[in-house]
Amino acid sequence: MVKEIAIPSVSDLESALKKYRTGMQIILEGAKAETGQTPKEVIWTKNKAKLYRYEPAIEKRYPVPILLVYALINRPYVLDLMPGNSLVEYLVRQGFDVYMLDWGIPGDEDKNLSFEHYVLDYIPRAVKKMLRASHAEEYTLVGYCMGGTMSAMYAALFPGKPLRNLMLVTTPIDFAPDEMGLYGVWTNEKYFNPDLIVEAFGNVPGELIDTGNRMVKPVTNYVGSYVTMWDRIVHDKSMDTWLAMSKWVNDGVPFPGEAFRQWIRDFYQQNKLVKGEIKLRGRRVDLANITCPVLNIAGKKDHICTLPQAEATMSLISSQDKEFFVLDAGHVGLLTGSEARKDLWPKIRSWLELRSK
């Protein structure tokens, strides 16, 4: 039986149409949002890399500056997503002197850049520039994801002063296939040859890296994200955070070819870091050289850097003052959102506070 129902009013139809248009515009044109708004200045550049110094919001309370080192993939503004939802903004407001190393967007001419360049040339020079700008003698190094792996290697090669503290956020160190979830299968050398990709593309396109990361949770990333979007549009909820996150997720940068080759072969396929077999320009990276205080942060729901991958650090370093802090969050959710504001940021502040005087 066909039953009649009430006819929607003209304004209902107009509103529905408007919402439909908003949603379709986002899908077709991509999310647009103002990100990375904490005031900053560029104090040093090298090739595409930039070193930012965030303008102090209050008088500096801690003499030990913080250097944030991001991964080679994606953009670092996820650490300064938007006002009120930014780790950088939070730290600046607590009176820390904050710096961030943005690797920039590599071009074809950067396809030969490797971890040797990043760990032995870029980071040391950024540290020097930061100490100079901050008039400081010591600093805290904070590495996120692959930036954490690079920071750990740097800390192992340059232990002692001026490095005062090391903080690793969702940082993969152990790449044993059993610990890596889907990545363990996907990067298996039987099926995955990084040389093929590097030889074909030079730099690995951001879209390819992005696809790999999304495929770890395809339903959530390809469908769930848009279900959330429509839900927010239809029910007139705030879209700011969703737009900022969506913009970031779709804003991948190419991975320099040589570094990609090393990342897959030496780390994922041969797990050389935990074996102490990584050598950068002939210098062996031994994580046991790390003796400074270390805060190692990981997420239980992280599929990109699984818990065991991050936890391995604890047994490899020699630091007496070390802590493994686990949150019930994913790779990115750990840094942003209400849970981060409630759990992670205060933890970082209190840990640093004691070690930055």
Partner 1 sequence: MPEEANTRKPMDPAKLWKQWYDTSSRVWSNVMDGEKETYVDPYGMYQSWLKSVGEAQEQMKGSSLGMMDPKVVWQQWFEAMIEGWRNAAQMGADPLGLTTHWLEMMEEARAKMQAEGNFPADPFTFFKQWYDATNDAWAKAIGEVIGTEKFMEGVGRFLESYTSFHRTFRHASEEYFRNLQLPTRSDLARVAELVVALEEKVDRIEDVFEDFEDGQAHLATSETVAGLEEQLERVEGKVVEGLAKRLDQVESKLDKVLAALKKIEAKDQAESPRPTNTGSRKAVKKNANQQSDSITERS
Active site annotation includes 145: yes
Q: Give the footprint of partner 1 on residues 40-69 (CB under 8 A).
A: 46-47
Q: Give the footprint of partner 1 on residues 76-115 (CB under 8 A).
A: 107-111
Q: How far is the CB of 189 from partner 1 (least distance, A)?
A: 10
137 near partner 1 (CB under 8 A): no
3-state per-residue secondary structure call for the chain: CCCCCCCCCHHHHHHHHHHHHHHHHHHHHCCCCCCCCCCEEEEEEECCEEEEEECCCCCCCCCCCEEEECCCCCCHHHHEEECCEEHHHHHHHCCCCEEEEECCCCCHHHCCCCHHHHHHHHHHHHHHHHHHHHCCCCEEEEEECHHHHHHHHHHHHCCCCCEEEEEEECCCCCCCHHHCCHHHHHCCCCCCCHHHHHHHHCCECHHHHHHHHHCCCHHHHHHHHHHHHHHHHHCCCCCHHHHHHHHHHCCCCCECHHHHHHHHHHHHHCCHHHHCCCEECCEECCHHHCCCCEEEEEECCCCCCCHHHHHCHHHHCCCCCEEEEEECCCCCCCCCHHHHHHHHHHHHHHHHHHHCC
Q: Pick between residue 30 and residue 107 the one whose CB is nearest to partner 1.
A: 107
Q: How far is the CB of 133 from partner 1 (least distance, A)?
A: 11
Active site annotation includes 328: no
> Which residue among 132, 279, 300, 342 contacts partner 1 (CB under 8 A)?
132
Q: Give the footprint of partner 1 on residues 229-248 (CB under 8 A).
A: 230-231, 234
Catalytic residue among 110, 292, 305, 331: 331
The site string for partner 1 over 183-222 (x = CB under 8 A, - otherwise) reads: --xx-x-xxxx--xx-xxxx------------x-xxxx--
User: In the complex, which residues of this chain contact partner 1 (CB under 8 A)?
Assistant: 2-5, 7, 46-47, 107-111, 125, 128, 132, 182, 185-186, 188, 190-193, 196-197, 199-202, 215, 217-220, 223-224, 227, 230-231, 234
Q: What are the residue numbers of the active site? A: 145, 302, 331
